Structure 1
């Protein structure tokens, strides 16, 4: 559930190189009912049902843009695989496949990476990941992923190191209105102590932890460009 988009950061950067501007459209003037804030006493399941079962799969269709005027479409697929070993520990792998098209230029990139979780359901932790370049990032420090959380709760997932990069991951739960919550995962990656990029991924979830949609914002420090992608679970 972490690092789905980080896995193809490098490939995304390639698609950015020739980005060009695009126009926007106006609204139709129609009205919608006022949203009702979600009750802050509701405990939301943090992990989707069945997420750690072999064969579990999620797919998202996304669209988005960047702050340089580029526009994008993307498909994200996440599949849970059979138990394996990661960094000498039993682990449950979750493999991500990301396909992105820069619709401003026609450039297409794809990337695959794998996240690894501990097997103990009572104290689940995010052990680390292998990115689309095949680099393994292992934990420097870890926290247990909560089984449930309420709006306003927040915490730390862990800190990870690989190939001179250091990644810190945190989470928080915010109001999404009408009985839903935003599960926000924030990541900051530095290299030799300097910011390389940051990412904020926000899932709209129901009380049972089922995901409805996702929005990802990725900032590249070297270019100053931010990409935003969003869409619904299929």
Structure 2
């Protein structure tokens, strides 16, 4: 895989890791093929319990692309002290990423995600980093909890190259008392789809992440990448 393609992957993952944490070691799927449907009345937390207080994790992802390369990566995320982003008070989470392809390609990047400080009306404000910087043109409150079947919009974000990304979320049945938090990023370039990214997290009611699957599609380079990990 060429370095440029891995850099594109890092840019996509910057949005994928908006606040759900990276995947842990291994390559387990994000759900089960059988089990008991989860009660739709259960409230599921959409963030880990310590995300806005003391979050500090390191995680591994493994997968492949449609060009025949195996990809391995590592992500370290840590909450930083309150700051400002685009003139607004914000809680920053710094994510350091490294990815290696089986044919020798390598890339690394640091991306900071910014969230509003009000826990009762939490919003994702945007990201800054050495691969991409994107700020919101519109944002919506991310609920603290949700039920299976719920969905919503996080916002629309414009990066430093003029690409516009809309981010939505939905909660699906994860079976056996769990749920799947699915985050879809759709990025447009001059009103034409450039890439999509779907992140699926298997979660428990308290927000604990059990596993993750990230699937990216970049139209211009015909690249599909699938990464999986367990916590």
- Give the TM-score normalised by structure 2: 0.83
Residue by residue, what CA displacement relative to the aligned partner does 1:44-79 show, whole Å, maximum 9, x if unpaired? 0111101011x4112221110112221111112211
- Given candidates 198, 211, 216, the residue that maps to 2:209 is 211
What are the ranges of 5 or more consecutive residues in structure 1 without an aligned counterpart? 1-7, 14-31
Match of 1:112 in 2: 110
Structure 1 ranges of 4+ moved more than 3 A: none
CA distance in 2, matches of 1:150, 1:12: 30
1:6-17 matches, within 5 Å, as 9-10=7-8
In the alignment, is residue 101 of structure 1 matched against residue 100 of structure 2?
A: yes
Q: Is the 8 A contact 2:10 2:97 kept in 1?
A: no
Q: C-alpha root-mean-square deviation of aligned residues, in Å?
A: 1.9
Alpha-carbon distance change, 158 to 87 in structure 1, aligned in 2, over 3 angstroms? same
Shift in Å at residue 97 of structure 1? Answer: 1.2
| Matched position secondary structure for 1:122 | helix
Shift in Å at residue 33 of structure 1? Answer: 9.5
Match of 2:71 in 1: 72
Shift in Å at residue 132 of structure 1? Answer: 3.1
What are the ranges of 5 or more consecutive residues in structure 2 without an aligned counterpart? 1-5, 12-31
Match of 2:173 in 1: 175
Shift in Å at residue 213 of structure 1? Answer: 1.4
1:158-197 matches, within 5 Å, as 158-163=155-160, 164-197=162-195
**The 10-residue stretch of structure 1 (218-227 or 188-197) with the greater mean CA deviation from structure 2:** 188-197
Match of 1:156 in 2: 153
**Larger Cα Rg: Structure 1 or Structure 2?**
1
Shift in Å at residue 87 of structure 1? Answer: 0.4
Alpha-carbon distance change, 184 to 34 in structure 1, aligned in 2, over 3 angstroms? closer
Shift in Å at residue 139 of structure 1? Answer: 1.1
Match of 2:144 in 1: 147
Shift in Å at residue 208 of structure 1? Answer: 0.2
Alpha-carbon distance change, 11 to 219 in structure 1, aligned in 2, over 3 angstroms? closer
Q: For this pair of structures, how many residues does the alignment match?
A: 205
CA distance in 2, matches of 1:174, 1:34: 15
Match of 1:201 in 2: 199
